[in-house]
Structure 1
């Protein structure tokens, strides 16, 4: 790519936001329950429209939340040859940067944005106090340019909107290229002539400090999330629920009928003559009838009957079928959506979640590469040349599979005894273990080793005297 001016880059990036804006806002509406109305007659009354609003059954947040809840970075393992390769994860500069940026909590928003819209972004920079931090950027406000969008992990330039235009006031944005950061102002996304770019300042990195987190990327460089392909199925579910509510409201009870019987009419209390309306017809009296009252007639020609209620089972089965289709296409186990777990063994549950586990593994591979670039950017800003070139480092994902502690202990014991894996190498695989607990275990093991070495030295110096380990420790 030729080296365009910052103004040309800003115009291209704002044009990308304008081009993708409608599609991403459509996805955002469905994610937050603002769905298209189900089909209804053109002359539908307010009651119909109320049922249409109540028919929205938003399943799409589950498609984002289920895999996102299994994505949690719990550490960083530097590659060999770096200064921090032998240090515990919590002592490495990379993990200190992670904690300083408070990414333990903020990483979830990055994953959810990427899964919902297809991509999200982070920017790694120095804040006002001089500390190096990484923060997330929304896909609705951020765009990036790549020379090869399908294969490059480093953008040529990136822009994020910090304020939208309002009341004739221009909007503002931040623009990064490979060397500098610029302040951008604009009146609208599609008005190229209104774009203004101020003189830039060095951001300190040798490349654009913005990193993309993409759920799916094809060879054309297009990103896709988990929401957009499921919008048609979500509309089908809403339509079926609407039809169910219509049938439930208007046809789910028996209708009692009577023929050959005229209702009583209003009469003048003085003359006994019928009271007529404007058209000259007698005005009928209201019949006070409910489930506790009976109707009877003296005329033998009167006939009583009933109309059967509309069966609702077909609507319910149709909703269940559509949700199962949603489950299959989204690779989310049906029991996550339907909540039906009955008499299922552990093996059956594990088999049901195989597709979801593979999907999560794919996301971990993609997002892990992005976090590794973030760590390299932070190391470069900190002046750590070795870590900035560390392409062998990797993030450590927390094991989120459902296993009991007894099952894990049995499996870890077999790995140590049968395969000879070192004990400390298995500590990370203990379910639920945190980085702080690993540090404590390391310190306890070092303390125990020191006490044992001191006791052995004293024993060798005075072989006839037994020195209890408790006294030496004291």
Structure 2
């Protein structure tokens, strides 16, 4: 049976971080533009190296930001109530109060970007002086253990590093299991002997309070983000752009040449005694300046488009070499970016910036693959957020919400549509399909939870005033008209 003591768990979790450190650091480098250098000759000079630095075109932030900017949790609808009816989402519910207390409106983006970049990120839910709050944890500092990493949503242990070891100063970490929290110190990731685990402290939950957010999990439990599979294509783009810069620098300009003429030489002045002088007034002669091997040193010729070349010798010939074509290299860059768009399911016009002469149907078709990918991320991250809400409810003592497995995260509709189009579509749903109008309010583009509740309150007030007016109308007898003629007795 495996050792499940706190120290054994801490050693195993630190070993996981040590194992994944190089891989995650490489991904992090590519996200921040620190890529492998393009291939260049071993004898490359400083100019080549400068061009190699300028050839880096970092597409990775765009691959992460495009789906991340379409992920925004806008509400949480609890499951069925004690009466068996579904509950409406509310900004005053305990679950949403925990969300606002944690400032997750702004911080949720970092959780998604971490999961999309590294393949996974984590959220810690804990009691604080301000109440129960959640915060994101980086995959480079956090590891978790699962009995079945492909299917379990609850880890049986997790560790997050708060201070990395530096020199003789040990690192610090927090470790959580199903009941307790432990303070961990260590001198190195792989040094099991230096790991020390402090006393246990109850964290208040019945399971590990760390939740994994995975962008993609296979049946082996491996997580993959959107960056790592694209590194090879990113290197290809950098190499092609480097070749383009080299060709642009050395062959894209017309080169002039001259034959049959000796180059001008650097001259030094001589005085009447044959000594070298720098005073032109004392110079009586001159001679070519020689290098260390006794060879004349050619003079530097500053030639540009404003200068003319001429020679007295009729045998001297002038000419020019045509510039080399670079169109094929530009086409190669364009092709590589299209491959990147196809494999990453990113619309090509997001990368190439070419949206001219595209119909609405063509734009919709280009966005289809991205919409499907975003829907997949919403289903994966939504389940993780629902576990966070259940943990927060348990830590707050809300027993009913703790066992609520029918709650649902509500994602904001980030699809690009005009308000007129949305209003027309929603009106048809209400009129032709008979869907209640209030049930469509949440689908109005850009509406927030607070605005939705304000609409409900105003609608109820209007209904109350209308019902009161109708009741008063029914209760008040109608007065006879003064123009009504009384019947005349015969």
Q: After TM superposition, is the score higher than 0.5?
A: yes
Tell me, what secondary structure is at the counterpart of 2:91?
A: helix
Question: Which residue does the alignment assign to 1:10?
Answer: 10
Question: Which residue does the alignment assign to 2:451?
Answer: 437
Tell me, what secondary structure is at the counterpart of 2:288?
A: coil
Q: Indicate if the aligned counterparts of 1:88 and 1:439 stay in contact, CA closer than 8 A.
A: no
Separation of aligned partners in 2, 1:337 and 1:99: 35
Q: How far 1:274 sits from its partner (Å)?
A: 3.6
The total of aligned residue pairs comes to 464
Q: Indicate if the aligned counterparts of 1:82 and 1:387 stay in contact, CA closer than 8 A.
A: no
Tell me, what secondary structure is at the counterpart of 1:301?
A: coil
**Counterparts in 2 of 1:306-455, with a 5 A limit?**
306-455=320-469
Separation of aligned partners in 1, 2:289 and 2:465: 109
Structure 1 unaligned regions, length at least 5:
466-474
Separation of aligned partners in 2, 1:276 and 1:422: 97
Pair 1:111 & 2:106 matched: no
Q: Indicate if the aligned counterparts of 1:268 and 1:275 stay in contact, CA closer than 8 A.
A: no
Pair 1:252 & 2:265 matched: no
Question: Which residue does the alignment assign to 1:275?
Answer: 288
Question: Which residue does the alignment assign to 1:469?
Answer: none
Separation of aligned partners in 1, 2:210 and 2:120: 12
Separation of aligned partners in 1, 2:426 and 2:242: 52
Q: Would the alpha carbon gap of residues 381 and 262 (structure 1) be closer, same or farther in structure 2, given more than 3 Å must change? A: same
Q: Indicate if the aligned counterparts of 1:82 and 1:390 stay in contact, CA closer than 8 A.
A: no
Separation of aligned partners in 1, 2:307 and 2:446: 64
Q: Indicate if the aligned counterparts of 2:79 and 2:404 stay in contact, CA closer than 8 A.
A: yes
Q: Which moved more, 1:17-26 or 1:85-94?
A: 85-94
Q: How far 1:282 sits from its partner (Å)?
A: 4.5
Separation of aligned partners in 2, 1:425 and 1:221: 39
Question: Which residue does the alignment assign to 1:190?
Answer: 190
Q: Indicate if the aligned counterparts of 2:76 and 2:407 stay in contact, CA closer than 8 A.
A: yes
Tell me, what secondary structure is at the counterpart of 2:256?
A: strand
Q: How far 1:272 sits from its partner (Å)?
A: 4.8
Q: Indicate if the aligned counterparts of 2:77 and 2:88 stay in contact, CA closer than 8 A.
A: no
Pair 1:200 & 2:200 matched: yes
Q: Which moved more, 1:258-267 or 1:195-204?
A: 258-267
TM-score (norm 2): 0.91
Q: Indicate if the aligned counterparts of 1:160 and 1:175 stay in contact, CA closer than 8 A.
A: yes
Q: Which moved more, 1:15-24 or 1:310-319?
A: 310-319
Separation of aligned partners in 2, 1:412 and 1:396: 18
Separation of aligned partners in 1, 2:88 and 2:383: 22
Question: Which residue does the alignment assign to 1:121?
Answer: 122
Q: How far 1:307 sits from its partner (Å)?
A: 1.2
Q: How far 1:164 sits from its partner (Å)?
A: 0.6
Q: Would the alpha carbon gap of residues 218 and 288 (structure 1) be closer, same or farther in structure 2, given more than 3 Å must change? A: closer
Q: Indicate if the aligned counterparts of 1:412 and 1:426 stay in contact, CA closer than 8 A.
A: yes
Q: How far 1:356 sits from its partner (Å)?
A: 0.5
Q: Would the alpha carbon gap of residues 224 and 280 (structure 1) be closer, same or farther in structure 2, given more than 3 Å must change? A: closer
Q: Indicate if the aligned counterparts of 2:18 and 2:190 stay in contact, CA closer than 8 A.
A: yes
Separation of aligned partners in 2, 1:169 and 1:281: 62
What is the aligned counterpart of 2:473 among 456, 459, 466? 459
Q: Would the alpha carbon gap of residues 288 and 386 (structure 1) be closer, same or farther in structure 2, given more than 3 Å must change? A: closer
Q: Indicate if the aligned counterparts of 1:120 and 1:138 stay in contact, CA closer than 8 A.
A: yes
Separation of aligned partners in 1, 2:113 and 2:216: 13
**Counterparts in 2 of 1:148-227, with a 5 A limit?**
148-227=148-227
Question: Which residue does the alignment assign to 2:231?
Answer: 231
Q: Would the alpha carbon gap of residues 417 and 262 (structure 1) be closer, same or farther in structure 2, given more than 3 Å must change? A: same
Q: How far 1:305 sits from its partner (Å)?
A: 1.1
List per-residue Cα deviations over 1:242-290 (Å, max 9, x = no partner).
1111111222211101101123444757555643514554454444532
Report the aligned-residue RMSD.
1.7
List per-residue Cα deviations over 1:433-473 (Å, max 9, x = no partner).
111110110111011011111111211221337xxxxxxxx
Separation of aligned partners in 1, 2:122 and 2:165: 22
List per-residue Cα deviations over 1:296-315 (Å, max 9, x = no partner).
22322211111111211111
Q: Would the alpha carbon gap of residues 146 and 258 (structure 1) be closer, same or farther in structure 2, given more than 3 Å must change? A: same
Separation of aligned partners in 2, 1:264 and 1:97: 81
Separation of aligned partners in 1, 2:352 and 2:238: 16
Q: Would the alpha carbon gap of residues 458 and 170 (structure 1) be closer, same or farther in structure 2, given more than 3 Å must change? A: same
List per-residue Cα deviations over 1:384-434 (Å, max 9, x = no partner).
111111111110000010111111011001100111100000001111111
